Structures are given as C-alpha cells and as structure tokens.
Amino acid sequence: MTGLLAHREEKVDGGPAGHAPSRVVLVRPHHFTPNPATAADNAFQTRLAEHPVAIAARAHDEVTGLARALEGAGVGVSVFDDRTAATPDSVFPNNWFSTHPDGSVALFPMYAHNRRGERRTDIIESLKRDFVVRRVIDYSSAEYDERFLEGTGAMVLDHTARVAYACRSRRLSPELLADFCGDHGYDPVLFDASDRAGTPIYHTNVLMSVGTRLALVGSSLIRDPAQREVVLGRLRDCGKTVIELTEEQVCQFAGNCIELLGHRLVLAMSSTAASSLSREQVEVISRHCQVLPVAIPTIESAGGSVRCMIAGNHLRPRTPLTARG
C-alpha cells in the first residue's frame, strides 16, 4: 500500500452533506488483461493485439498515473498492488466493496467466477486499522444462489438524497438491491437501459454519475420514456443540475466519472471521456467542480473507466493521518 495523504478534518465525511469522498482506494494490477469471462455482457470491452506483458505494464502505469493525478488534486489515495494473474479485473475494486460515512463496509457478490477472488481481506483489515469501521455487511454468499449486486458499478448512489439508481442487468439482483437499500437507508430507483443494439447496459455507473449538485446521465439509453422521466425527474427533484449525455458520449465513458473532494471539488474522468464533452457541457460542469482528466486507454479496453477504478473511502479516520509516520 502506498500514499495515504493527510487531509483537513472538516473533509472527513467528504463534501457538502458528506457526498464526495476525500479519500479513495485503488488496486494496481501487475497482470492486467481484458477479462474474457465478462465480455459476453460488457459491450464496452475491446480486444488488444499487443503482447500481454506490454498490456499489463501499461495498465500498471496508468493506475500509477491516476494515483498521482488524484494526489496532485489533494485527494487521499491508498494503492494496493495485485501481483496475481488470477484476477484480471482487479483494477475495478468498486464492484466488490463500498464504504459509508456511518462506518459501514459492504461486500458484494460478483457475477464472473474469476472476479470473486478480487475480494481481499487485507484491504478490509487496512480500512479497519486506519478508519472507524462499525460493521461489515457481507452480501457475497448470494453468489451461491446466482444472485449478484456488483457494488457501485451496479448502483449509482446519491449519498445526499439517499437514492440508489440501478439499471437491470445480469450483474444486479433486484432483491439484493432492496436488501442493500434497506440496510443502508437508500430509496431504490430501478430502470432498464440498453444500447442501440438492444444490449442491456451492464453497469449503471457507465451510464450515469451523481455528485453533490451535478448529475451526468445518458438518458437516451433509458428507452422507455416513462422510466426516463422518472430518473430525470428524481435527479432534478433532488436538486441536481442534469447534463444529458449522448449515446456516443456514454460509449466514450463520459458517464463513468466520479466527484471527489481534494483542494476543491473535482470530477475525475478519463481523457477519452473529457474529450467527448461539448464546450457547453464543460461550462456547466465548471460551475460545480473542476474536470480532472486522466489518460487510461489500456484499462478502458476492459470495459470500465475512471469511476470503475475508484472505490471511494467515506470512513472516518481513527486518528489524524498526519500522526501516522
């Protein structure tokens, strides 16, 4: 593990009303490759022709670059290395655990068998050591019943309004979504979304991002007009400025971004995503936060982008982190 930055105490629970985390967890893979076990339902994946060693080296460097960019923006970063070859998607830790300002940690069931090994006790124990963890709720046994809920990939959480947005897919069981929402005090908003070929969107967080006062959403992929209006109406009723993304922008990962609190509020996204935004969209975003683009083209070949790489740490530190050598 490297680079746990100290932060001012008023940032302990994130941004206004505790939404944007000021600390994050990243996993840096040493044997990254797009996962063949997830390609069937992840239309965002692409094949890479280069030698696996070169691909893995670039992915390793891209995670390091993301960590440096976040630290430079004042966000605290904990990096855990994955030196195994058994978990090709380990760079996306937000799918298997989430943290919450009340001291809760949730562990989630994963659809692909080779992703289940991504759950790491050393990461959870590190959180327990440095932060106040009051309970760990483990939903992962649902895998034995073929029920799944892939964390803040399958759900996009509005922490201020206590709403969990979720699109149906094989990565999400509505029953488990209801359990999570009941345990953590969220109101579920469940809907259907698909690309123009009719393929369901595999994770909600490639479709939309919800911040403190800003939301980006590929609303046109919610094909049912009534469902679309429910989602957009709920976002606006919760006080969000809504930026509607085109399907092309969603395919460029513009929806796969996350609001973080560093020296100021930033919206972390890939360079690919940032370059897809219009001038008008950037102007709206800049009224709320600063776009922080990071180049991760190799990792995006696995079908996820910056949001997928970041597990937000909403937990309260046990002691001021500046006191830890």
Residue 5: the pLDDT is 30
Is residue 4 in a domain? Answer: no
CATH number at residue 46: 3.75.10.10
Say if CB 4 and CB 76 are below 8 A apart.
Answer: yes
Tell me which residue of 234, 235, 229, 188 sits closest to 213, measured CA to CA: 235
Is residue 2 in a domain? Answer: no
Is residue 3 in a domain? Answer: no
Q: Is the pLDDT of residue 34 over 90?
A: no
Is residue 209 in a domain? Answer: yes
Taking only the tens place, the pLDDT of each residue in 208-220 is 999 999 999 999 9
Is residue 1 in a domain? Answer: no
Is residue 275 in a domain? Answer: yes
Q: CA-CA distance, 219 to 221, in Å (whole number)?
A: 5
Query: Above pLDDT 90, what percent of the chain?
Result: 80
Averaged pLDDT score across all residues of the chain: 90
Residue 303: the pLDDT is 72
Burial of residue 279, with CB atoms counted within 10 A of its CB: 0-12 exposed, 13-18 middle, 19 or more buried? exposed
Taking only the tens place, the pLDDT of each residue in 193-210 is 999 899 999 899 999 999
Q: Is the pLDDT of residue 2 over 50?
A: no
**How far from chain centre, in Å, is Cα 213?**
18
Write out the two tokens for 233.
Answer: 């109406």
Q: Which domain holds residue 285?
A: 9-323
Q: CA-CA distance, 49 to 58, in Å (whole number)?
A: 13
Q: Is the pLDDT of residue 315 over 70?
A: yes
Is residue 128 in a domain? Answer: yes
Is residue 238 in a domain? Answer: yes
Say if CB 92 and CB 205 are below 8 A apart.
Answer: no
Q: CA-CA distance, 197 to 213, in Å (whole number)?
A: 32
Domain count, the chain: 1
